[in-house]
Amino acid sequence: MKLVLAVALALTATACGGGGASAQQAGDGKSFEFWSFTGINQKASVEDYQKKNPGVQIKLTEVGSSVETAQALTTALAGGKVPDLVLIQGDDLPKFAQQPQNFQDLRQFGADKIKGDYLDWVISQSVAKSGEIIGIPTDVGGMAVAYRTDLFKQAGLPTDREKVGQLWPTWDAFIETGKKYTAATGKAFVDNAATSVFYQAVNQGPQKYYDPSGNVVYATSPQVKTAFDLGIKAAQAGITAKQSSFSEGWSAGMGKGQFAVIAAPSWMLGGIRDNAPDTKGKWDIATIPGGAGNWGGSYLAIPKGAANPKAAWDYIAKTQSPQGQLEHFTGSGALPTTPSVYQDPKLTGLKDPFFSDAPTGKIYTDSLLGLKPFLIGQDSSAIGQEFLNAITNVEQGKGDAAKAWDAALANIKTAIGK
């Protein structure tokens, strides 16, 4: 927490000092300062925008993880020194929507006119109770599993994506497949139990940590408990590399073949390419156990005190239009939130050569069909983090599996007060 606070203070100092990119960018009305999180190659999107819009200068700061970015933004809002544009992960957005006065109401720029371009259940998360629109969605995280065909072949497992998907119609079957792989190779099957098992399973049902009325139900939800038990089961099965998602070891292990499987929402594809560029053609994409679900998705928001809100909005409007999101998907794999492009041949016909020509457009849109979205509440991020921590502790040999659930509930109550 001290590190996060130090980062936030440094960022806010930059935002108000002479070195920032807000009013300091020659006051041209086109340039702005942008905070994002790491692991999604935001730099590529910024460079592409600048190439298409000569003269625009964007000072991009990749703050840290999505959680660290949200924490840094909270500190910046309290201090009044903010960037012009910020990327907020979906689980963190509701708590900011509770304080719409801290953000520009994007209706003033025309957000109310384009609201219908986006999936209802996605755009609704960024609408405050009093009607302000504080964010525009950038993507959704349709779910699938990325796997190494070469490592599966060595283990005597099928490599064809349809046959691989048939190996694990359920999460229990996924864990059993992992045991077969590890027994055959002596190596880890999956990167970790927390995000690749629990966090996928918990995102597959109609209710998560809150009920539809906004009541906290994390302690009594059968969906949450079932997903947690699956995470603990995977952690104890001896099939994980014990590499927490987005850590340095995880990034390095991806390229070294230290695990053969990783849960891969659509936005993860770009991270796999960046972390393991030499593995092109060795990966493929299979259906997630259970068939459907959503992990992630983010929003672009403009803080109230932004020095260049119009320049920030121009970026949002151009990059997050239906065609802008479609173009981004073909380059990065981030699944559009704009259903009008779901039947576009550029999406439905897309095959990704890095992932053995997998039809990623079809795989990921199919994973959203029939999905009953769950309510994300203001403390969803904090609740989820404590469940992840409890499973990771068991996986790392630091926690008691029999007491992990109760420990997680106690920590959540301490964190959110209920």
Q: What is the pLDDT of residues 312-338, one digit of tens each?
A: 999 999 999 999 999 988 877 789 999
> Distance between CA 115 and CA 138 in Å, rounded?
13
Question: Which pLDDT band holds residue 367 (cuts at 50, 70, 90)?
Answer: confident
- Residue 27: the pLDDT is 54
The pLDDT value given to residue 370:
66
Return the higher-pLDDT residue of 7 and 111.
111
Residues 22 and 280: their CA atoms lie apart, in Å, by 39
The CB-based long-range contact list for 183-187 (8 Å cut-off, 24+ gap) reads 184/154, 184/155, 184/156, 184/157, 185/151, 185/154, 185/155, 187/151, 187/257, 187/258, 187/259, 187/260
Say if residues 139 and 336 touch (Cβ distance below 8 Å): yes
Check if the beta carbon of residue 182 is closer than 8 Å to that of residue 238.
Answer: yes
Domains of the chain: 2-140+296-341 (3.40.190.10), 145-293+361-416 (3.40.190.10)
Measured CA distances, 339 to 50, 67, 204, 288 (Å): 27, 28, 20, 21
> Residue 286: in which H helix or E strand, if any?
strand 283-286
Helix (H) or strand (E) holding 329, with range, is helix 322-332
- pLDDT, one tens digit per residue, over 403-415 is 999 999 999 999 9
- Tokens 């009953």 map to which residue? 372
Strands (E), 73-192: 85-89, 136-137, 145-148
pLDDT at 295: 87
Mean pLDDT of the region 263-289: 94
Confidence of residue 383 (pLDDT cuts 50, 70, 90): very high
Please report where in the chains the tokens 């008691």 appear, as a residue. Answer: 400
Quote the mean pLDDT of the chain.
Answer: 91
**Mean pLDDT on 7-14:** 41
The per-residue pLDDT for range 138-176, each reduced to its tens digit, is 999 889 999 999 999 999 999 999 999 999 999 999 999
Tens of pLDDT along 25-69? 445 778 999 999 987 889 989 999 999 999 999 999 999 989 899
Cβ atoms of residues 200 and 293 within 8 Å: yes
- Give the predicted TM-score (pTM) of the model: 0.84
pLDDT the model gives residue 246: 87
